[in-house]
Structure 1
Amino acid sequence: MKIIKTIPYIPTNVEVENLGPNKVRVIAYPFEAGYAITLAHPLRRLLLSSSVGLAPIALKIENVTHEFDSIRGIVEDVSPFIVNLKNIRFLEKDTLGADEKIFLEYSFQGPLVLTGAHLVNEQIDVVNKEAVLATINEDATLKFSVIVQKGIGYVPSEDIRVLIPEDYIPLDAYFTPVRKAVYEIENVLVEDNPTYEKIIFDIETDGQINPHKAFQQAIAIMHSQMSIFDADMSSIPTAQKQASEDNYDFKDLLIKIDSLSLTARCFNCLDRIGIRYIGELVMMSENDLKNIKNMGKKSYDEIADKLQELGYPVGTELEEDKKTALGKKIAKLKS
């Protein structure tokens, strides 16, 4: 039976399939005709451009002055050594702040085929431990330092030069942990209507982040970017404003804090006082967060960085009506 709609169809089905190590397929349907591409394309761009990863940003090798030099007793020159280093995918052992750098110091004696596994220490882990970095000859010693930092996207070495000590060689930094993000759109039948659509997303990461979690974070970033359009309602007539306040979209604030990938210590601090949703963190002031029992500086900085990434810096002031409505929704979810 043909009907005249007043609102678009809301998708009801989502499926997640594990395709292998660090590979997932996310399927969602049914969407109105044209809606699938409207959502899928920006999500793909956010996955590739805004997923947070770790990368080496600078290198210092003993007795080496520039990137076109050679290293005594090492098969590889500095240039191929740098290429190999940039292929190493690091994994943080303790959550870093937004501008925090890890300074790694290494010294290796030959003969040795140096791989990613040799770089693992109390500060850092490596995803691709089998990746070859250098071949050290007998009676040779290789001493070097690496600076690793968290970031998004690609940052050229020219921009990094001003952020590191002068005696280090700046490196092009490719932070993105998402190797592949592709989607297909298929038609699906709904009540004899074949024009509805299904999105099939295939996502693969390098192991720094779970691909399903990367997808969730891309969705959260999309919500936070779009929230700017709700920021200033002062020019909207009162009746229209009230109608909007009754229909706030809290999707990004009603996501559980599990999706933030917090360290165990940080998560436990929040869990002990019953914090379950991102919205509860957003509604807390800086003092409220810092006064949580066992909340150290590292844990506080970790939460602050996560909220900043989502577009809700600590101390974000929500409109009173929005804050009240959010509190009621969270209370209902927790009841």
Structure 2
Amino acid sequence: MKKIKTAPFMPSEVEVTQLGENSIKIEAYPFESGYAISLAHPLRRLLLSSSIGYSPVAIKIEGVSHEFDSIRGMLEDVAVFIINLKNIRFKIRDESDKKEVTYEFSGPKEIYGKDLENEDIEIVTPDAFLATLNEDANLQFSLIIHKGIGYVPSEEIRDELPEGYLPLDAFFTPVKKAVYDIEKVLVEDNPNFEKIVFYIETDGQIEPITAFKDALSVMYKQMSVFNNELNVQIIAENDSEENSAELKKLLQKIDTLNLSARSHNCLERAGIEYIGELVLMSEDELKNIKNLGKKSLEEIKEKIDEITQKMQNLSAKELEVLKKKIEKIKS
């Protein structure tokens, strides 16, 4: 007779093996039959689609007006130059969202990725080839390097660029490989338990274990929408006071604000979970949040202003209701 359970078996083992400089194997087990694939597949998709990387999104070359032009003294046409540029992987040293950098080279010279490294930009593919210049060449160009996820075609970037810049297809994803196997493992006398074996490789912009942790974080945050809504519904059912659409919006978690990682982490460390908590805080209280810098403060204030402007003015009674609801959720 099959053993009767009241909860699925909880996996307890995780092993991480370094396979190369930017390559790891992660094993987790034992999972109930069917559970491994349910977790592994969405994690793989998030690794490939949601890992943060850096990419040039635009280029301005002195004396060049379009990508089918040529440059005196450079062996490669502009189109080939741009293709070579896409093989070079950049990283913004201070992890800011965007940097504009300018370069100038004179020939004769072969230009490689390592030649583009400076105090603002790290190159993780130093040996990637870019261009060949002869003694008559003088190459001047500027790049806009941006942080992002996934892939953004040049058509979607074009309208946001400064004058003179050519848009580039932006390949942000730093994960080169994310595959998994599902293996059988024996637990006591049952051979039907499962093991997930992940193989993850990155291009060096991010460590593979960091990419995996980030994918887990994205999964948790995406799933939290259900928890947020259910909490609101439970309170609404048990609370005799009227619940407005505005209050429900304020009872959503701060994850929905799409704040930068730095701002989000400061709020999280301060124990602030819900948008309504920010709305209830004065500017002085916001300023006193530990390690919250000026840039993060401005970002949070801007988000709060966007929300409150879309809402009707909340009365003192509604603000009191909001305060009580947040206290109930967090208790």
Q: TM-score range by the shorter chain?
A: 0.7 to 0.9
Shift of 1:160: 0.8
The aligned counterpart of 1:126 is 123
Contact kept? 1:95, 1:302, Cα under 8 Å: no
Shift of 1:235: 3.8
The aligned counterpart of 1:228 is 225
2:271 alignment partner, one of 267, 280, 288: 280
Segment of structure 1 superposing worse, 197-206 or 120-129:
120-129
Distance change (3 Å), C-alpha of 1:294 and 1:37: closer
The aligned counterpart of 2:51 is 51
How far does the alpha carbon of each residue in 1:149-168 deviate from its partner, in whole angstroms, 9 at most, with x for none?
11110100100101112311
The aligned counterpart of 1:214 is 211
Shift of 1:302: 9.5
Contact kept? 2:270, 2:290, Cα under 8 Å: no
How far does the alpha carbon of each residue in 1:58-102 deviate from its partner, in whole angstroms, 9 at most, with x for none?
0111111100111110011101100111111111111214xxx31
CA distance in 2, matches of 1:297, 1:150: 21
CA distance in 1, matches of 2:19, 2:272: 34
1:183 alignment partner, one of 180, 185, 197: 180
CA distance in 2, matches of 1:127, 1:91: 7
In the alignment, is residue 174 of structure 1 matched against residue 171 of structure 2? yes
Contact kept? 2:17, 2:24, Cα under 8 Å: yes
* Pairing of 1:188-203 with structure 2 (within 5 A): 188-203=185-200
Distance change (3 Å), C-alpha of 1:230 and 1:149: same
Contact kept? 1:48, 1:178, Cα under 8 Å: yes
Aligned residue identity for 2:91: L
The aligned counterpart of 2:310 is none
Shift of 1:221: 0.4
Shift of 1:232: 2.0
Flag structure 1 segments of 5+ consecutive residues without an equivalent.
242-252, 254-259, 305-316, 325-335
Segment of structure 1 superposing worse, 130-139 or 171-180:
130-139
2:327 alignment partner, one of 311, 315, 320: 320
Shift of 1:236: 4.4
In the alignment, is residue 146 of structure 1 matched against residue 143 of structure 2? yes
Contact kept? 1:96, 1:302, Cα under 8 Å: no
Specify which structure has the higher proportion of helix: 2
The aligned counterpart of 1:111 is 108
The aligned counterpart of 2:314 is none
Flag structure 2 segments of 5+ consecutive residues without an equivalent.
240-253, 255-259, 302-322
Contact kept? 2:72, 2:136, Cα under 8 Å: no
Distance change (3 Å), C-alpha of 1:282 and 1:235: closer
Matched position secondary structure for 2:156: helix
Distance change (3 Å), C-alpha of 1:302 and 1:38: farther
Matched position secondary structure for 1:68: coil
The aligned counterpart of 1:102 is 99
How many residue pairs end up in the alignment? Answer: 284
Identity of aligned residues (%): 55
Distance change (3 Å), C-alpha of 1:227 and 1:123: same
Distance change (3 Å), C-alpha of 1:29 and 1:300: farther
CA distance in 1, matches of 2:88, 2:157: 18
How far does the alpha carbon of each residue in 1:261-309 deviate from its partner, in whole angstroms, 9 at most, with x for none?
97xxx99xx7xxxx9x7573647847555434664334668999xxxxx
The aligned counterpart of 2:11 is 11
CA distance in 2, matches of 1:237, 1:280: 21
CA distance in 1, matches of 2:300, 2:187: 42
Query: Over alpha carbons, which structure has the higher Rg?
Result: 2
Q: CA RMSD in A?
A: 3.2
